[in-house]
Structure formats: C-alpha cells, structure tokens
Amino acid sequence: MKRPTAGAKWRAPGAALCCAALLSGCGLLTAGEPDGGAAPAPSGTRPAAGKPAEPGQPVHLKDLNGDGYDDFAGPLTSREHGTSLVVVYGSKAGLHPGWHTTLPGGGPDSGYGSPLRADLDGDGFPDLVALRQRGKKAETVALHGGRRGVSQPRRLSVPDAFRPTAAGDFDGDGHADLTGGRTIQFGPFKDGRPARTGRVSGDHGAAQGGVTGDFDGDGHTDALFTYPYDADDYEQNDDPPDGPPQTAYFRGGPQGLTRDSAEAIGSAMGGYEGPGGATAGDVDGDGIDDLVVSPGPGDLEPGKLTLFYGSKSGPGGGRSPEVLQGRGSTWGSGTEIGDVNGDRKADLLTGRPGFHLIDPDKLILLPASAKGGFDVAAGQTVSGDDKELPDGVEAFTFGAQALLDADGDGRQDVVAFTQRHDKKDGRFLVFPGGPDGLDVGRVRHFGSEELGVRLGRP
C-alpha cells in the first residue's frame, strides 16, 4: 500500500481521535443493555493477519489490524434494536463487508457510543474505546486491536462516572491517555487499568465533545472541549446569571491538561442552542496541527467555517484565521481533514444538509489552496440525487461517516451512510478518492443487514 512518505506535506493530527460520525446521516448513539445482561458476543469474519507498528514508530490509528488498509468503526442505531457497534475492515478493493465485527446493541435504548481510537496498551495496534450502557449503569470498554482485528469488549478500570470524550498523549510520555473533560486516565493501560489518574485544571463540568491535536508543536496533545448549552436556560429574566462556557481550550504538558485562553475560537463556535463542531489536522504542512471550527445552531451567521492555524503559541497565535463562506445556512455541517486527491496536501470534507426530497443532502470537498488553506471556489459537491449513484440507492438523506484510505492507494476515501425515509434499510456508500477528488462513478455500497444489523421492523 502507499501512504504519504516522510516529509509529506499533509498529515493527520498526531494524537487526534477518530470520530465515527461527522454529519447528519446516521443517528448518533446512546448505549446499553438490559439490567444484569451479559454483553452480546461479536459476530462476523476477519481479514488476514497484519502486523503492529515498529517500535518507536507512530501507530496508524485508522488501521486496526495493521494490514495496511484503514478500517471503519462506528455505530448503527435502530429504535427497536438499539445501537450496534460495527467494524468493517479494509482491503485492496476497499471496505470489505464480508470482513466485519458486529457487537449487537442488545435492545431499545441500548448499545454503544461513538468509539475513540488510541493504542492504550502500547502493543502497536490501535484500540477502540467506547461507552456502553448496561441497564442504568454506564461503563467504558475497550476493543483491543490485533493482527486479526478487534477483540471482544473489555471493561476498563475507570470510575463509573467517567465518559470517554478524547484521547491523546496529554503528558507527552509516549503513552495514550483518555479524558472525559474533568479527569485524565493516564496510560499505559495494563489489564484495563490506567497507570494513574489526574484532574483537568479549571472549574468546569464534564465535556460534551472534544477534538485533539498538537496545536503548539511542543509534543504534547492539546484539547478543545465543548459543553452543553442552551441560551433559553439563561435568558428567562431581566438579570440572567452568566451561562457556562460553550468551549474551552487546554494545553497539554507534563502534568496533563491546563486551561488556556482561546476566546476567538469560542466566539467562532458559539451558538444560541450550543456550540458547533471542530476537526484538526496539519493544513499548511508546517508540522503543527490546525483547527477548523463551525458555529453552533442558532448562530446569526451560519453557513461558514473558520480555520485557525496552529503556532508555537497555540491556535490562532500566528497566521490570521481564515473564514470559509459557503452557500446556504446549513453549509459547513460536519468537517474532517484528509488527503483525498493524493497530492499530499490537506483537503476538507464538509456537508450541507438539505430538506429531504425537495433538496437532497450534499457532501462537499474543498481542495487545498495554493496558500495553504482551502479553495471554496474549486469545491466539489456530491448530491443525494446524483445520477451517478448506483441504482436502488435512496440517498436523499445521507452524511459522511469517515475519511479512510480503505484500499491503501494513498488517497482518502469518503464513507457515507444513507437510510430510507421509512428507516427500514440503511446503506454505506464508499466514494473512492481520485486525482480530481471524489470518484462518484466508482462508488461502492453495501447494506447494514450485510453486517448483521437490521435497522427497522421487517
């Protein structure tokens, strides 16, 4: 397979986590199983054996079994059957639905949360970390990567109240750590137990979401957290109390995460109904991760993204931020950074949710610009009613799930998910990356039932 060689201009954030769901196409997870019930056993078949990362070399977090092909991992939600966690392994031909691992949700209002990726035990294979709800009790579990794929879920020895929100090497000791925004579970993890536990500095609640990267280039993972917020809760009288912050930025260091100022980022992400989203990657090729953020719902200026360049003093401390303005109030919903066309420069994947049958959802790919950012004018749009989509695929409502080099050709492919309006069926669409962007004419697709997951009633 071909990956970017040393010195390649684009790189993924060194310690960034991979989120499975990015745009509005698949219901995002709640998790759980009936009280006292045992965890359902994984089902499916596995690919040929891979190999771990060489000692001293970074672990490629998207390749769970070390065979050179990126693998998909994410949730599938059904009101009747709960939220299953599915893993589909890559191959020379791309994602191979015949090679998959499926952990059943276990029933209504049950299942698994969106997984993080990190090499918890230092064996050279990335692991999946997810929240699982068992009745009224939530627990954090790990599916350890290995030569033949992921293991069965194993409970981690962390507090019951811990919610895995972000992963990275926050203290710079070479081991992966986990955080929920209040505490840090420091690695390495041995037999599911962290080496030690520390607190995140500052007075704040548990995080709702997080994105990580080395935004100041010091070798420690930094984190940007988002928190639940609704302005209606703080504007019910003439003298309302100050609302909590919607976002907070933390620098990594020897002691873990320390709160730092990032008012411009918070302003760009704020919304009346809560914060927007963010993604990380080295956009300009200077070896320091950069941030792309979107405004939250209810913002007065929707339809835009803001790029904050990383620097020795943190995001936004060097080059001036750039605003990417699109068309439509929903433009810029969900983002991920990767090299789709193989030019070793960062491209940006985003979306524009529509209004179903009268205005299908759209995926938008912005290529790299000559100045190191993204070229909005040269963007490629794939619509849910595109005539090149395969016959029988009802894609009026669909959204991106991941950017993966599933076929090992050195270009990132877009994995999207679409579901019928009656919620009875769902299909994964894999758009291969090509020299000109997304190759819609070569899209491959497979159904959720091929992974053992029935989304609706028969």
- Whole-number pLDDT of residue 244: 63
- Whole-number pLDDT of residue 353: 79
Asked if 350 contacts 334 with a C-beta cutoff of 8 angstroms, the reply is yes
Higher pLDDT, 353 or 191: 191
Q: Assign 349 to helix, strand or coil.
A: strand
**Mind listing the pLDDT tens digit for each residue in 250-262?**
999 999 999 998 8
**Percentage of the chain exceeding pLDDT 70:** 82
- Whole-number pLDDT of residue 276: 86
- Whole-number pLDDT of residue 22: 33
Number of other CB atoms surrounding residue 73 within 10 Å: 27
CA distances 405 to 1, 104, 418, 442, Å, are 10, 26, 20, 15
C-alpha closest to that of 164 among 220, 229, 226, 113 = 113
**Mind listing the pLDDT tens digit for each residue in 68-97?**
999 999 999 887 778 999 999 999 999 999
- Given pLDDT bands bounded at 50, 70 and 90, which one contains residue 38? very low
**Mind listing the pLDDT tens digit for each residue in 217-259?**
999 999 999 988 766 655 555 555 555 678 999 999 999 999 9
- Whole-number pLDDT of residue 222: 97
**Which residue is associated with the tokens 């894609």?**
395
Q: What is the DSSP letter of 442?
A: G
- Given pLDDT bands bounded at 50, 70 and 90, which one contains residue 123? very high
**17-21, 142-146, 327-331, 385-389, range with the lowest pLDDT:** 17-21
- Whole-number pLDDT of residue 327: 85
- Whole-number pLDDT of residue 234: 55
Do strands 154-155 and 127-134 pair parallel, antiparallel, or not at all (unpaired)? unpaired
pLDDT at 173 over 90: yes
- Given pLDDT bands bounded at 50, 70 and 90, which one contains residue 398? confident
- Whole-number pLDDT of residue 350: 93
- Given pLDDT bands bounded at 50, 70 and 90, which one contains residue 362? confident
**Mind listing the pLDDT tens digit for each residue in 419-453?**
766 666 788 999 999 999 999 989 999 999 999 88
Alpha carbons 238 and 369: distance in angstroms, whole number: 48
The token pair that represents 265 in the structure block: 């980022």
Residue type, 333: S
Residue type, 127: D
For residues 26-34, average pLDDT: 29
The token pair that represents 379 in the structure block: 């963007």
- Whole-number pLDDT of residue 231: 61
- Whole-number pLDDT of residue 395: 59
- Whole-number pLDDT of residue 141: 97
pLDDT at 30 over 70: no
CA distances 65 to 52, 59, 168, 222, 415, Å, are 8, 11, 20, 27, 19
- Whole-number pLDDT of residue 137: 82
pLDDT at 120 over 90: yes
The token pair that represents 130 in the structure block: 């997810």
The token pair that represents 434 in the structure block: 């090509």
| Average pLDDT of the chain to the nearest whole number | 84
Asked if 189 contacts 210 with a C-beta cutoff of 8 angstroms, the reply is no
**Which residue is associated with the tokens 């056993």?**
41
pLDDT at 370 over 90: no
Q: Assign 49 to helix, strand or coil.
A: coil
Q: Is 235 exposed, middle or buried (0-12, 13-18, 19+ CB in 10 A)?
A: exposed
**Percentage of the chain exceeding pLDDT 90:** 57
- Whole-number pLDDT of residue 424: 67
- Whole-number pLDDT of residue 230: 62
pLDDT at 379 over 90: yes
Q: Strands, DSSP E only, in 119-277?
A: 127-134, 137-143, 154-155, 166-168, 177-179, 183-186, 196-199, 209-213, 222-226, 247-253, 256-260
For residues 35-49, average pLDDT: 55
- Given pLDDT bands bounded at 50, 70 and 90, which one contains residue 19? very low
Do strands 137-143 and 154-155 pair parallel, antiparallel, or not at all (unpaired)? antiparallel
For residues 135-141, average pLDDT: 87
Residue type, 243: G
- Whole-number pLDDT of residue 106: 82
* Residues 6 or more apart whose Cβ sits within 8 Å of residue 281: 10, 11, 12, 13, 16, 213, 289, 290, 292, 337, 338, 346
- Whole-number pLDDT of residue 135: 74
pLDDT at 20 over 50: no
- Whole-number pLDDT of residue 232: 61
- Given pLDDT bands bounded at 50, 70 and 90, which one contains residue 49? confident
Higher pLDDT, 339 or 20: 339
